[in-house]
Amino acid sequence: MNADRGTVERLADVALAVVVGAIAVSAALLDEDTTSVDLALIAAGSLALAAYRRAPRAVLAVTTALLAAHVLHARPGPVSALPVLAAVHSAAQAGYRGAGAGAGAVFLGAFLMAGPVPQDSVERTALLAGWFLCAVVTGLAGRNWQAYLRQTEQRALEAERTREEAALRRAGEERLRIARELHDSLTHSISIVKLQAGVAVHLARKRGEEIPPALLAIQEAGGEAMRELRATLEVLRTDEPTGTPALLVERARAAGLAVDLTVTGHERPLRTTVDRAAYRIVQEALTNAARHAGPAKVTVRLDYGAEELTIRVDDDGSAEPSRPPTEGIGLTGMRERVTALGGTLHAAPRAEGGFSVRAGLPLEQA
């Protein structure tokens, strides 16, 4: 985006220089005394305007010197001041109003000295002086307008940042409230179920009776429900990611999952929202692979592009395109995170077998 904008600005600067030069050259051609040297001076002074954004003072000096030489040599009309007027305007807009005024005074002095008739020269010089004053004033007005636009944009960004922070704070408070409700209600109920099942199993073993399979299933399900609930509460109480994708891969390896991690591109700090989303996507993809892929090999790829972070998690498990899985809470949450950032997500079985998660997250400055 920035490269495209820079190209457009450079083309606009070149177009401005060509238009100004064409007008000045056309006016000079109407004068029979104009020589090729005069045309060269006008063309060079006008084309220098193409660099006014990068070097306004240098352009001002070059344009003023060349056009002043042209005025002293050919004694043209007021139109010859057009390139200098553009240079003075751009210098004032860039903050060099003193240099712009000085260049205007130099050109006016040359124009006054070159006049063939004193009275006519004074009138034309006074007219040009008014033009140069307007050029300085419009340059300063343009500078003030640009400063106003920058301040307005900064205020809008600050207001948006404040709204986002307030929304994140409210979301965090809501997560904590939900976590407290779950802890106070479900944790107690599940603990009672698990305790009662454990007591019944203990008594049955103590009496030497056969333990009903349903009772063992209740005991095992209660323990699993407690573990899942604790993990859910930990996620609800944690606003920021608790590590990096590389740490998630190490944890998955320690748990017995065969995982390979590949990072390409220029790895760099990301915005908090993008960093959190990348962490959760890799976490959910590895969790799903551990639960549903079976004894599979998983590959995690992170590609840091110029404008997008691409995340890809593939496994060679038992998923098949003919039996697409039902999208659960994990995949739904993953899709919501990616959509909120304006990214793309594709999560589906692979044609060669296994499951693939591909996410593209737009990057901005951290």
What is the structure's pLDDT at 309?
93
Residues 182-226 have pLDDT tens digits of 777 777 777 788 788 888 888 888 888 888 888 888 878 877 777
Q: What is the mean pLDDT of the chain?
A: 82
Residue located via tokens 């007591």: 199
φ/ψ of 197, rounded to 5, equals: -65, -40
- Locate the domains of the chain by residue range: 2-156, 165-237, 245-362
Architecture of domain 245-362: 2-Layer Sandwich (3.30)
User: In degrees rounded to 5, what are phi and psi of residue 30?
Assistant: -75, -15
pLDDT score recorded for residue 290: 79
Q: Three-state DSSP class for 77? A: coil
Q: Give the rounded distance of the alpha carbon of 141 from its chain centre.
A: 30
Residues near 283 by Cβ (< 8 Å), separated by ≥ 6? 248
Q: What is the pLDDT of residues 218-268, one digit of tens each?
A: 878 877 777 777 777 776 766 555 568 888 888 888 877 889 999 999 888
- Please tell me whether residue 326 adopts helix, strand or coil conformation: coil
> What average pLDDT does range 6-23 have in this prediction?
86
pLDDT at 241: 55
Question: Looking at the whole model, is its pTM more than 0.85?
Answer: no
Report the range of poorest mean pLDDT among 133-142, 182-191, 279-288, 346-355. 182-191
Handedness of CA 73, 75, 80, 84 (dihedral sign): positive
Question: For the segment 285-311, what is each residue's pLDDT rounded down to a tens digit?
Answer: 888 887 776 778 899 999 999 889 999
Name the strands in the sheet holding 355-362, side by side, starting at the edge strand that comes first in the sequence. 258-265, 297-304, 308-315, 355-362, 344-349
Specify the pLDDT at position 365. Answer: 46
Residue identified by tokens 């993953």 is 334
Mean pLDDT of the region 112-141: 77
* pLDDT at position 303: 94
pLDDT exceeds 60 at position 355: yes
Q: Is the pLDDT of residue 32 over 70?
A: yes
